[in-house]
A and B are shown apart, each in its own frame.
Chain A
Amino acid sequence: MGKSHLEMVLQETLQTNKKICIPYIMAGDGGLDILEERLLFLKDCGATAVELGIPFSDPVADGPTIQQAGIRALKEGASLSAILRKLASFQQPHPLPIILMTYINPILAIGLEEFTGACQTAGVDGVIIPDLPMEEEDLIANAFTNADIAFIRLVALTSPLERSVTLANLSDGFLYAVTVNGTTGGRTSHQLHEVGPYLQKLKSISPVPVLAGFGISSPGQAKQLGSFGDGVIIGSKIIQLLQENKYDEISTLIASVS
């Protein structure tokens, strides 16, 4: 469990000359009862770990697909504490490492101590907070370290080099490289002349694996972007395919990365 478990699984994948693929799903979308089944399904597809979105009423970093999934999950009664309770009820260890993606406010509402304690009970290995830049991370960083939770930092195309180096050195588990200047959601193409060198640069400075995320929606894109760094994170497209019950396509998409 925890940071070391996540780092071990990522290293094992890379050592077999495979790329890392982390699908994102919205916890509670479709009800919390199908969560366990979905984790197993993603494991079977060959996912390295899973990023579990926590629904929030005001997700400013997210595009329409994840916004809608969040609204559906909230209607199902999902909340950070309900999701953590659900995870705690599953047989552990989980089929694959669990990374929570949550805005900061739900964590603050529960309370930091409560949150890290519940993460340990629930077998959560890492956390990504899209609205907590390094200027504000003192709020939580120590508590996460003490609880052995990987705190995964994001870096953007707009981050200056020196800042990117700092973020890469701070990041636990992997470095999340945002590959579009925008919110989450599928793009038909990326600015490869910009994104390619950006990922290669990050790879050269980062002590942890570099994963590309945001806007990846096709096997071609996943393979291409994954090739510059150590792998990819795929969110909105997975949510859309789950919504349409296109499980085979999810399988193909995840398989295309390795």
Chain B
Amino acid sequence: MLKTKTTYHEPNTQGRYGKFGGRFVPELLMPALIELEEAYNEAINDSAFTSDLTAYLTEYVGRETPLTLAKNLSEQLGGPTIYLKREDLNHTGAHKINNTIGQALLAMRMGKRKIVAETGAGQHGVATATVCALFGLECIVFMGEADIKRQKLNVFRMELLGAKVESVSQGSGTLKDAVNEALRYWVNHVDDTHYILGSVVGPHPFPKIVRNFQSIIGKETRQQFLERNNKLPDAVVACVGGGSNAMGMFYPFIDDADVKLYGVEAGGAGIETGEHAASLTRGSVGVLHGTMTHLLQDKNGQIKEAVSISAGLDYPGVGPEHSYLHLTNRVTYTAITDKEALDAFRLLSCTEGIIPALESAHAVAYVCKLAKKMQPEENLVICLSGRGDKDVEQVQSILEAK
């Protein structure tokens, strides 16, 4: 039971997860994607690269992150024993840096010293700006106008770190539009610039590379849980916007058939209202940002705006591997409303003394429901993808407005 054989081999060489994924990009970018994939495959088989990466993850990011027993929350919910994988304790306050460290090392290996990135909540932007400061790379970050307003603190952080933050006013001024602009910037500067994509979205090989860099989350969790309990957890829960923390957490558990996996999307004002970001639970299959996946779109194939209290989940698409895991029923996807997430934000803060990011609060909120259906002798792990410091101002104004 504890040692599983590997049967899961997605994606294929074309970057497909079943029918999902692929490389739907302008011809101009194809050579860069092929170069990136070759560089990545070489790098992960080069012990100099992997030991470098491990050293930065240990000494700079602060890994491994703890697996914390949430005793009070478990007692209050009266169901299974709940553990938190503490990605909030990483340097910069979220899981995003696991990927940016890896990709920055990769960029330098390819001889590229200019970096472009998109950001939603600002966590990926901060994590990118941070590694660029560390390695002396030039950094430009595209961020939606609406997100700049609700995440002012992260904008200041990025600027402090030496990054140039470009406001994107097109569309809804959120993550989708920031990705468009970052992709356009990359199209215009592909000869000397690497695009550090922040989630398991976009054209192949990005979903694979980001998943693999993030899979340190699931690897550590599996190991830590085994050491502590001599068995695997019964369930693992993570929030899903593009889905990088969830993919990083789920991937090492995919072949453990007894471990149930739950992905929690942003239900916004409620799935039935149409104002949400639940691409998997309510979307349909199409192509956006270079990949075939579940999207929020109208009957003409125009992409709809996603709505969520959480800037990091506010994306009308989702990683193609999540679409595949949804179709194959390996992961159960569900949605949590803004209100439920806010309640969970407060609950975790006052029961455990841990203020979660609004994104991660969606996972906590789902656990409040799931716990009722599980037995006291069972165990579950929540991926606490980030800390909530960035959100307290926004939450304060929402609570005061009530």
Q: Which residues of A does B touch, CB under 8 Å?
A: 56-63, 67, 74, 79-81, 103-110, 130-133, 135-136, 153-160, 163, 167, 178, 181-183
Contact = CB atoms under 8 A, between A and B. Distances in A.
B170 A131 contact: no
Contacts of B30: 133, 135, 156, 158-159, 163
Nearest to A108: B286
A56 B25 CA distance: 15
A160 B32 CA distance: 11
A179 to B, nearest CB: 11
Given A58-B303, A183-B184, A160 B286 contact: no
A58 B31 contact: no
Given A67-B170, A158-B31, A160-B31, A105 B287 contact: yes
6 contacts: A57-B302, A60-B183, A110-B300, A136-B24, A158-B28, A178-B28
Contacts of B161: none
Main secondary structure of the interface of A (DSSP, over half): loop
A81 B303 CA distance: 16
A109 B28 contact: no
Interface stretch (B90-98, B187-195, B387-395): B187-195
Contacts of B295: 105
B136 to A, nearest CB: 25
Given A105-B286, A108-B286, A181-B188, A159 B300 contact: no
Given A81-B300, A105-B295, A110-B300, 11 more contacts: A57-B303, A58-B176, A60-B25, A60-B180, A108-B287, A109-B298, A131-B287, A135-B23, A158-B28, A159-B27, A178-B28
Contacts of B78: none
Nearest to B15: A135
B190 A61 contact: no
A133 B30 CA distance: 8
Interface of B: 14, 22-32, 170-171, 176, 180, 183-184, 187-188, 190-191, 285-290, 295, 297-303
A109 B295 CA distance: 11
Nearest to B26: A61
B23 A136 contact: yes
A183 B187 CA distance: 7
Nearest to A81: B300
Nearest to B286: A105
Contacts of B170: 67
B299 A109 contact: yes
Contacts of A74: 302
Contacts of A107: 301
> Most chain-A CB neighbours within 10 Å: which of B27, B183, B290?
B27
Contacts of A133: 23-27, 30
Given A105-B287, A131-B290, A182 B300 contact: no
Contacts of A104: 24, 287
Contacts of B26: 60-61, 130-131, 133, 154, 156, 178
B289 A60 contact: yes
Contacts of A106: 300-302
A183 B24 CA distance: 16
B25 to A, nearest CB: 6
A58 B27 contact: no
